[in-house]
Chains A and B, each alone.
Chain A
């Protein structure tokens, strides 16, 4: 319960594994992937652990297809994590647990989806620090960040908060050693393999590199309420036309 106050706090933290195995993605497929590990969650749930973030994304897509086809009776929640998918409310979790290893999971199709575009000013207070860690100028941080197509790997911490992956490993940065007591809403921030946008003001320890403008990440009166859902493609568009 302590983890809810901040996306960088331990209870919502994601480790390094999620980002590191992205490197195996493009060439994967020539060898059979390791079978998923299926763990029990109460009487009606399963936690399916995949070898990495790419496999978890492909598995999640397959779960959504099977639900749409009516093959997952009773299911109430499908919650992706960094390299897991939680399935809850299953009518027959044991039967499904035995079957999951046999699923044929097609590789992800890349590039065809449209991306949500987030206008951003790269004016964050940690921009100089991040530039130092990246070994580039502050201006270059924004250019490199905006040139990346991100994907919402999973959500958590707060309604509308997505953990976005896509930055190459050499641009992963640690959290700040001295978290801020207040991070303004709309802050675009980095931590580990992730980029996030704070949907509302909160304490936080991520590295702030910019500010999303004209963007409401969460609006309960909107359909859909959340701009980011697992699998959503995201691009950051610099304000002021640096491109």
Chain B
């Protein structure tokens, strides 16, 4: 199947994402990729796609897409019908399917409710509407075969910092869908489809473990205490590059800047104004502001779903 999706409503920010392009930071290329990587992987697993197949990452208010006639897989039972209800446990081979994971939200196909977290059929001519996030921020829409954008350095991810990968979705744009066979070795397999996908509701407080360093010595002892007890909140200025925080400033023990050095995913960089920024997938690869600590990657999916105003607490962990 080499179908198409027409963008009816692009939403606030909807991008193509996969597992990103790690391994190119030395060329100035950010890692990029799905911010809530477990949700992205889950969407693909539910569809029998390889976990690296491209999905759509929505922000805050979802998006709406029209499946073009070409999206109907030849030989599949076309079924004018409304794909209501889950195909849980059903054989999905031959029928184009989609699934929504990540931030829970209302999902409809042609105005009829479709399940969240469970694959459903997406027949030709039907409109998939992924509603506003009810909790969290970012939903992931997977399609059997994946989104078929042109890969750049092995990834289809949209990188908003450096402009690599496909443009963010715009109303009226078209998206190609990949074929199952091109999606990878598991392409045709309608693997075991669970009845429902679990999703832990985002807690009222975002707990971020932090490994101190590499530049904690650029800050006063008081700043290190402030980081742990400071009462930070997620700022509305957060984006795919970083989770910005509101709260007390971290006092520096020395002035100036570092000669540019490599920055890791999850780095807690402190710009001159003093409030830390947690670097997410589209972060710059080198920088000169000191990094007081690093949040392990496993904790960043929760950061990607933390709405502005969410309290943030850092907890010290050892490297």
Chain A: residues with CB nearer than 8 A to chain B?
1-4, 10-15, 17-18, 39-43, 45, 47, 49, 76-86, 88-89, 93-94, 154-163, 220, 225-226, 228-230
Closest 9 CB pairs of A and B: A86-B262, A79-B262, A82-B259, A156-B286, A42-B294, A39-B214, A81-B261, A155-B28, A11-B287
Binary interface encoding of chain B residues 148-162 relative to chain A, with 1 for a CB under 8 A from any of its CBs, else 0: 000011000000011
Please list 21 pairs of residues, one from A and one from B, whose beta carbons are closer than 8 Å in the complex, sorted by A's number.
A1-B283, A4-B161, A4-B162, A11-B284, A40-B319, A41-B267, A42-B264, A43-B319, A77-B23, A77-B25, A84-B259, A93-B319, A94-B319, A155-B26, A155-B27, A156-B284, A158-B28, A220-B153, A220-B164, A226-B27, A229-B27
Q: Which residue of B lies closest to A220 (CB)?
A: B152
Contact for A15 among B164, B211, B267, B288, CB less than 8 A: B288
Interface size of B by CB at 8 A reads 51
With A12-B260, A163-B260 given, is the CB distance from A79 to B288 under 8 Å?
A: no
| Contacts A10-B257, A43-B319, A83-B259 given; does A78 touch B26 at CB 8 Å | yes
A30: min CB distance to chain B, Å: 25
- Asked if residues B259 and A81 are in contact (CB atoms below 8 Å), the reply is yes
Contact B288 A11 (CB under 8 A): yes
- 19 additional contacts (CB under 8 A) given A3-B287, A156-B260, A226-B28: A10-B271, A11-B284, A14-B288, A40-B211, A40-B213, A41-B211, A45-B294, A47-B261, A79-B262, A81-B259, A82-B261, A86-B25, A155-B27, A157-B28, A157-B286, A158-B162, A159-B164, A160-B28, A228-B27
Cα distance, A3 to B284, chains bound together (Å): 7
Contact of B25 among A17, A43, A79, A84 (CB under 8 A): A79
- B residues lining the A interface (CB < 8 Å): 22-23, 25-29, 152-153, 161-162, 164, 211-215, 239, 241-242, 244, 256-267, 269, 271-272, 277, 279, 283-289, 291, 294-297, 319
A99 CB, nearest partner CB in chain B, Å: 16
Counting chain B CB atoms within 10 Å of each CB, the highest count among A1, A39, A86, A154 belongs to A1
Q: Given A82-B260, A159-B29, A229-B26, answer yes or no on A43-B242 (Cβ-Cβ < 8 Å).
A: no
Check B241 against A12 for contact (C-beta < 8 Å).
no
Task: Give the distance to chain B from A33, nearest Cβ to Cβ, in Å.
Answer: 18
Contact A10 B288 (CB under 8 A): yes
Query: Which residue of B164, B260, B319 has the most chain A CB atoms within 10 A of its CB atom?
Result: B260
Q: Contact check, B215 vs A2: say whether CB atoms are below 8 A apart.
A: no
Tell me whether B264 and A160 are in contact (CB under 8 A): no
- In the complex, residue of chain A having the shortest beta-carbon distance to the beta carbon of B31: A77
* Contact present for B259 and A14 (CB under 8 Å): yes
> CA separation between A225 and B262, bound complex, in Å?
20
Shortest B23–chain A CB gap in Å is 6
Q: Which residues of B contact A226 (CB under 8 A)?
A: 27-28
Smallest distance from the beta carbon of A38 to chain B beta carbons, Å? 9
Contact between A12 and B286, CB atoms less than 8 A apart: yes
Tell which of A42, A45, A80, A158 touches B26, judged by Cβ atoms closer than 8 Å.
A80
Chain A residues closer than 8 Å to B266, beta-carbon distance: 42
The residue on B at minimum CB distance from A199 is B28
Interface contact A77-B262, CB-CB below 8 Å: yes
- Complex alpha-carbon distance, A160 and B244, angstroms: 27
B258 to chain A: which residues have CB within 8 Å?
A: 15
| B211 surroundings in chain A (CB, below 8 A) | 40-43
Contact indicator A159/B27 (Cβ below 8 Å): yes
Contact of A41 among B213, B285, B287 (CB under 8 A): B213
Q: Which residues of B contact A84 (CB under 8 A)?
A: 259, 261-262
Residues on A with C-beta less than 8 A from B262 are 47, 77, 79-81, 84-86, 88, 154
